[in-house]
Structure formats: C-alpha cells, structure tokens
C-alpha cells in the first residue's frame, strides 16, 4: 500500500503563503508514537508481556493493530480480534485481518523461543469463524511452557528492524541467496511462493499493470478511499494520540489540515489533484520495482488465512536479514466488487484459479534506503483486563 501519501497538491497562493515558515518543521513521528520499537520496557517481569512487546510489532493491514489479549490465566495468552478495528469496505470478508492475527502469533512464537519457551498455539479453540464474518470467539489460545529442546529462531534479530517500505526501490535484482532464504523461511507452511524479476520482463510488466489498475480503483472508489481517511492521522498530536493507522506528518499536509483545506469527510474526485498525483506517484514506484513476491494457498479457510499471515511475516523478516524490503500490494487481492477484474487478473497470472486457490500475499520486493517505524500503541493498549 501507499496509503500514507494521500495528498499531493500543487499551486495555491494561500497554501504557499501558509507554509512559507515551515521549512524547519520536522516530518519525524513523535517519539512516544514509536517507543514500542525500543523493545520491552525495563523491569518487565511477566514473561508474557515481554513476549507481547515483540508480537505487537507485527505488520497489520492499515496498521490497525486489531489484537486483544487476555492474560487472566497464568502461563497462558488468549488472543481475540478487536472488532472495532475492521475494514468492512476494503476487507469485507476479513481475510487480511485474519492474516494480521497470524503475523502477531508468529512474532509471539519467535519471541517465546528467545526465552526458551514453547508456545503451544491452538487456533480457534472455541470453533473457527465462518467465511463471511467474524465473531467474538477467540482467535487463539497460547500455552507457554519451558522446554530445553526449544531453539532460538535467527529471525528474532530482525523484529525491531522490520519495516514496510513504500518508497522508491532501486533496480538491482534481488540476490539469489536472499530469495532462497525467503523461500526457506516459509517452509513450515503449506503454501506456494514465487518471485518475478528482471529475467521475466514480460511477466514483470504484467505485475506492474495489475498493481497500477488496482491502486487506481481504490483511489477513485469513494467508500474505499474514505475508509482509509477514517484511520488517517495527520500531525504529531493525532499520531501520538492514536499510535495506529496511516500517519502523515509532513508540514504541507499539516498546514492544509489546519486551514481546513484537507477535508477527510469527503472523497476527492477522480480528476482531483490529490487523486491524480497519488496515481502518478504510485505508478512511478511500481514501474521502478525490480521484483514481486507472492504466496498462494490451496483453500481459504480461517486457519489457512492465519497461517498465511505467519508465513508472510517470516518472509519479511528473512528479507530484512538480507537487506531487502517489502510492500504488500493488497488492492488486487481484496474481495469487493470494484476489484473483481484485478483480482481475477492476478490469480490468472499466478496460476491460482479460485475458489480452489487464493493469492494470500502479493508484494513489491527490492532494495531501498531504510525508513522509520510505524506508530504502535504499546502492550497495555491490547490488554482486555489489567493483570
């Protein structure tokens, strides 16, 4: 996604005048919004909280962080999905939301191993959600047990360094050793992975075309762009207050918002400068993408979705270890009517005919300068009951 860069406006004397004194303003996120990326708080005595301080750094669609945990049972963690943090327009079947539960569980498992603990994870202990909607039953029950046979996972070292990179990538072809490591990282899960790169120029161009079309559709569909606007945090005050969602802290957008010139209650027109500028910006980045990565599963039940999320975060950690970055391209994988053609196109391209097969993840892959972390709410914000 490139949803964090919604606004690209040009001209306008009032805007130029208002921003003339902002050259020295920082675009860095407020430190309290990213404090969770420093790791567990000093003096943490409950090993579950220590483990959770890594789990909450998992990637999540729209950075919503829809994880609720119950610690009332000693030695156990029960994970629930926070139904106030859903995406009914762009994720009507809650598939990416379930994948995001999986990314959380995988980082939890990796962190537990670092403490010599075995995390026995039971998915949907009270029954699996149906294909259409989620309910209030738990996603997982995790029982922690000391186990001398447990070995640390080398990917643990990458958790604090893993960041989704939506910026321009350079055109170097990813190293073969890196691609092998990414493939090996997901071996515990029954899914098919693949890559498209410079050796397949025609295929690479098809990937780019589908990504561009799907992104344009999301931007020009009012209800889907407004869903992103609802979780858009502009400026240090909003970012520090929420510590989630999609953050913009550039001086220009902060000033437009303060002047009432960026109305997040209305979708911009398809020919609006904010829309056309975003399309142009995204297309330029996709056109310069050297490779794409994907994961395909047979079946699409809730356990498959959760385990696909576990696999994806492992792939991203492995990529991080080899100096590569990723950006999920979620639009063409979304199951709302306007995306039907890109959805069909990417499944055809990846030889994954539905309903038997589902493309669970499709992402840009390449080398790029490092970016900072996204906001995170901290462990306490995810606890159902204080312990």
Spell out the domains of the chain, with CATH numbers in brackets: 31-202+288-382 (3.40.109.10)
pLDDT in tens, 194-232: 999 999 999 999 999 999 999 999 999 999 999 999 999
Is the pLDDT at 74 greater than 60? The verdict is yes
Strand partners, 223: none
How large is the average pLDDT for residues 266-271?
93
Per-residue model confidence (pLDDT) at position 21: 43
Confirm if 320 and 202 have CB atoms less than 8 A apart. no
Confirm if 228 and 6 have CB atoms less than 8 A apart. yes
Q: In terms of Cα–Cα distance, which of 26, 79, 62 is closest to 375?
A: 62
pLDDT in tens, 3-53: 545 443 333 333 333 334 444 455 789 999 999 999 999 889 999 999 999
Q: In terms of Cα–Cα distance, which of 292, 315, 278, 312 is closest to 180?
A: 315
Instruction: Enter the pTM of the model.
Output: 0.93
What Cα–Cα distance (Å) separates residue 253 from each residue in 90, 159, 267, 376? 24, 31, 16, 22
pLDDT in tens, 88-128: 999 999 999 999 999 999 999 999 999 999 999 999 999 99
Q: In terms of Cα–Cα distance, which of 5, 4, 39, 59 is closest to 326?
A: 59
Residue-wise DSSP of 172-201: PPPPHHHHHHHHHHTTTS--EEEEE-TT-H
For the chain, what percent of residues have pLDDT higher than 90? Answer: 86
What Cα–Cα distance (Å) separates residue 229 from each residue in 153, 225, 248, 277? 38, 6, 11, 17
Per-residue model confidence (pLDDT) at position 46: 96
């Amino acid at each position: 996604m490139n949803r964090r860069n919604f606004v690209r406006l040009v001209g306008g004397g009032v805007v130029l005048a208002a921003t003339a004194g902002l050259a020295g303003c920082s675009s860095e996120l407020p430190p309290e919004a990213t404090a969770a990326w420093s790791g567990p708080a000093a003096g943490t005595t409950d090993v579950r909280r220590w483990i959770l301080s890594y789990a909450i750094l998992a990637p999540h669609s729209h950075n919503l962080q829809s994880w609720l945990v119950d610690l009332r049972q000693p030695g156990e963690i029960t994970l629930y999905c926070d139904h106030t943090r859903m995406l009914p327009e762009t994720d009507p079947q809650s598939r990416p939301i379930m994948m995001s539960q999986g990314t959380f569980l995988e980082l939890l498992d990796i962190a537990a191993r670092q403490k010599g603990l075995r995390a026995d994870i039971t998915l949907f202990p009270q029954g699996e959600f149906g294909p259409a909607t989620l309910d209030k039953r738990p996603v997982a029950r995790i029982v922690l047990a000391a186990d001398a046979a447990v070995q640390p996972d080398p990917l643990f070292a990458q958790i604090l360094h893993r960041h989704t990179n939506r910026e321009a990538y350079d055109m170097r072809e990813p190293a073969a050793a890196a691609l092998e490591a990414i493939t090996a990282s997901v071996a515990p899960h029954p899914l098919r992975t693949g890559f498209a790169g410079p050796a397949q120029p025609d295929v690479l161009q098809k990937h780019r075309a589908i990504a561009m079309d799907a992104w344009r559709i999301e931007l020009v569909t009012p209800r889907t762009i407004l869903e992103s606007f609802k979780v858009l945090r502009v400026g240090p005050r909003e970012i520090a207050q929420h510590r989630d969602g999609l953050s913009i802290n550039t001086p220009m957008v902060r000033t437009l918002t303060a002047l009432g010139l960026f109305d997040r209650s209305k979708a911009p027109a398809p020919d609006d400068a904010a829309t056309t500028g975003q399309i142009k910006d995204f297309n330029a980045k996709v056109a310069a993408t050297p490779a794409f990565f994907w994961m395909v599963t047979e079946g699409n039940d809730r356990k498959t979705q959760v385990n696909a999320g576990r696999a994806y975060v492992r792939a991203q950690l492995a990529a991080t270890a080899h100096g590569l970055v990723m950006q999920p391209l979620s639009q063409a994988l979304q199951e709302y009517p306007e995306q039907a053609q890109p959805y069909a196109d990417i499944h055809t391209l990846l030889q994954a005919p539905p309903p038997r097969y589902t493309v669970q993840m499709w992402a840009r892959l390449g080398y790029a300068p490092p970016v900072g972390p996204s906001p995170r709410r901290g462990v306490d914000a995810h606890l159902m009951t204080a312990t």
